[in-house]
């Protein structure tokens, strides 16, 4: 097979790029290791920044998101016996975020790819990029007993943190920066009405908790847990009891509980690989960088990568201009590091660290007091949470 752009990974990053390129007549093939059902079964992001929503519209995939997604103008932080509100709209100069699940937006992207007869190959095994430093790279994969070869101009590594793309870059050509946090998030999805119309981030001595949602009938809750815990350690009753302990009493009293329909633990990690390009391989999204979910930045950092890459590929194919491709890594990384900083800051401010000394705890408390006493500090939080410009 032959195509212009071979995209490894059919998550939000890969599908979005595929859709945008197709709309401009640039041929591409997406190779996804898992089945479509498996990809759609993963419960991940719930909050999309303005820029991501705009990209969905540009990809002609925004209709259902605009109909069913919820615009949120603010969120709450419970701390030290108080419940304070972050007014995103006021402090970001009129911006907001969209609450719309990653599952739903991935479904919309798959449907758009189907509608346009885009090539998305599922269950592609042993995907391997080759000759990345040459002008004629290619990708192979196994389908049953057959090895299939795809010749292309560019390979896009959009295959997430555990994908093959980043690993195919020689070790001496890439630098990895990593910070592993000593806890994870246990997440529960339940068919219950959310406890609050806006998200609640709760800092508590027993550990962080988050009340989020997917819709007015579907709630998503998280609690900080030690890395040694497993899902089996947390039957539903134990989860709800612990969540209630970490919420202000009046909120806990209102919480509607129900059977979990999904329960999983995600370790918290910050990671960046530099550069995001090796020859004709370009990394995008979680394949190149991940953040702890506290600042709701992961998917949104993926969106800016895709935006830069899309415009760079467009300039190359339409005007023969390669500057966008040459500048891609530096441009993407500048925004990626700002998302890293913000996610680290939110995580540090709101979690309970097992080895924290009294001094660290005082600083955490002061960080929150400063935040809610300074319009400038609120402005900084708000502009980062709604998303810095692409």
CB of 284 to ligand RFL, least distance (A): 7
With binding defined as CB under 6 A, does residue 293 bind ligand RFL?
yes
With binding defined as CB under 6 A, does residue 290 bind ligand PHB?
no
**163-182 positions binding ligand RFL, by CB under 6 A:** 163-164
**Residue partners of 312: CB distance under 8 A and separation at least 6:** 324, 325, 327, 328
- Answer for the pair 311, 332: CB distance below 8 angstroms, yes or no: no
The token pair at 177 is: 């920066």
Spatial distance between the Cα atoms of 383 and 241, rounded to a whole number of angstroms: 34
The token pair at 149 is: 């070869």
With binding defined as CB under 6 A, does residue 129 bind ligand PHB?
no
| Phi then psi dihedrals of residue 64, to 5 deg | -70, -35
**8-67 positions binding ligand PHB, by CB under 6 A:** 45-47
Which of 165, 212 has the CB closer to ligand PHB?
212
The token pair at 213 is: 């949602």
Query: Among 7, 21, 22, 32, which residue interacts with ligand RFL (rule: CB under 6 A)?
Result: 32
Kindly indicate which of the ranges 17-25, 292-300, 316-324, 361-369 contains the residues binding ligand PHB, using the contact rule CB under 6 A: 292-300
SS3 243: helix
Query: Among 192, 212, 260, 329, which residue interacts with ligand PHB (rule: CB under 6 A)?
Result: 212
| Residues β-bridged to residue 225 | 184
Place of tokens 């590594």: 157
Residue 294 binding partner per list ligand PHB, ligand RFL, none, with a CB distance cut-off of 5 to 8 Å that depends on partner kind: ligand PHB
Residue 348 burial (CB count, 10 A): 17
- Given its phi and psi angles, is residue 387 left (phi above 0), alpha (psi -120 to 50 degrees) or beta? left
The token pair at 100 is: 């719309």
**240-279 positions binding ligand RFL, by CB under 6 A:** 266
With binding defined as CB under 6 A, does residue 46 bind ligand RFL?
yes
Kindly indicate which of the ranges 9-17, 246-254, 313-321, 343-351 contains the residues binding ligand RFL, using the contact rule CB under 6 A: 9-17
Cα–Cα distances in angstroms (integers) from residue 189 to residues 134, 213, 224, 253, 374, in the given order: 46, 8, 15, 19, 35
Query: Among 168, 294, 304, 329, which residue interacts with ligand PHB (rule: CB under 6 A)?
Result: 294
Spatial distance between the Cα atoms of 50 and 321, rounded to a whole number of angstroms: 29
Spatial distance between the Cα atoms of 80 and 74, rounded to a whole number of angstroms: 20
- By CB under 6 A, the count of residues binding ligand PHB is 9
With binding defined as CB under 6 A, does residue 187 bind ligand RFL?
yes
With binding defined as CB under 6 A, does residue 384 bind ligand RFL?
no
With vertex at residue 175, the alpha carbon angle to CA 171 and CA 180, rounded to the nearest 5 degrees, is: 110
With binding defined as CB under 6 A, does residue 293 bind ligand PHB?
yes
With binding defined as CB under 6 A, does residue 220 bind ligand PHB?
yes
With binding defined as CB under 6 A, does residue 332 bind ligand RFL?
no
CB of 46 to ligand PHB, least distance (A): 2
For the chain, the 3-state helix, strand and coil shares in percent, each to the nearest 5, are: 40, 30, 30
Query: Among 6, 31, 200, 255, which residue interacts with ligand RFL (rule: CB under 6 A)?
Result: 31
The candidate with the shortest Cα–Cα distance to 288, out of 361, 339, 242, is 339
**116-155 positions binding ligand RFL, by CB under 6 A:** 124, 127
Residues that bind ligand PHB (CB under 6 A): 45-47, 199, 212, 220, 293-294, 296
Residues that bind ligand RFL (CB under 6 A): 8-14, 31-34, 39, 44-47, 102, 124, 127, 158-160, 162-164, 185, 187, 266, 285-286, 293, 296-300, 302
């Amino acid at each position: 097979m032959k195509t212009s752009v071979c995209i490894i990974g059919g998550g939000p990053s890969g599908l979005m790029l595929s859709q945008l390129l197709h709309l401009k007549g640039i041929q591409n093939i997406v190779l996804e290791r898992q089945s479509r059902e498996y990809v759609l079964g993963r419960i991940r992001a719930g909050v999309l920044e303005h820029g991501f929503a705009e990209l969905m519209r540009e990809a002609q995939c925004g209709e259902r998101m605009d109909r069913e997604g919820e615009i949120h103008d603010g969120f709450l932080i419970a701390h030290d016996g108080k419940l304070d509100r972050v007014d995103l709209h006021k402090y970001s100069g009129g911006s907001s975020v969209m609450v719309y699940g990653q599952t739903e937006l991935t479904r919309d992207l798959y449907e758009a790819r189907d509608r346009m007869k885009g090539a998305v190959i599922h269950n592609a095994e042993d995907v391997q990029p080759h000759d990345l430093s040459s002008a004629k790279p290619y990708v192979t994969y196994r389908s049953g007993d057959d090895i299939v070869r795809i010749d292309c101009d560019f390979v896009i590594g959009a295959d997430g943190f555990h994908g093959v793309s980043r690993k195919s870059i020689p070790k001496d050509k890439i630098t990895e920066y990593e910070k592993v946090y000593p806890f994870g998030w246990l997440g529960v999805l339940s068919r219950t009405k959310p406890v609050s119309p806006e998200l609640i981030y709760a800092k508590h001595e027993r550990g962080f908790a988050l009340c989020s949602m997917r819709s007015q009938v579907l709630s998503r809750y998280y609690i900080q847990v030690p890395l040694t815990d497993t899902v089996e350690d947390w039957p539903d009753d134990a989860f709800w009891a612990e969540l209630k302990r970490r919420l202000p009493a009046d909120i806990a009293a209102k919480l509607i509980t129900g059977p979990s329909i999904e329960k999983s633990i995600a370790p918290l990690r910050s990671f960046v690989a530099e550069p995001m390009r090796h020859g004709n391989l370009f990394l995008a999204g979680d394949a190149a960088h991940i953040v702890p979910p506290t600042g709701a930045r992961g998917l949104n950092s993926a969106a800016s990568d895709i935006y830069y890459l899309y415009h760079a590929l467009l300039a190359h194919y339409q005007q023969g201009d390669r500057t966008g491709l040459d500048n891609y890594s530096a441009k993407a990384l500048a925004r990626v590091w700002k998302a890293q900083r913000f996610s680290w800051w939110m995580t540090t401010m709101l979690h309970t660290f097992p080895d924290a000394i009294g001094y660290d705890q005082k600083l955490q408390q002061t960080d929150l007091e400063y935040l809610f006493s300074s319009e400038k500090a609120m402005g900084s939080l708000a502009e980062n949470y709604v998303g810095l410009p692409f």
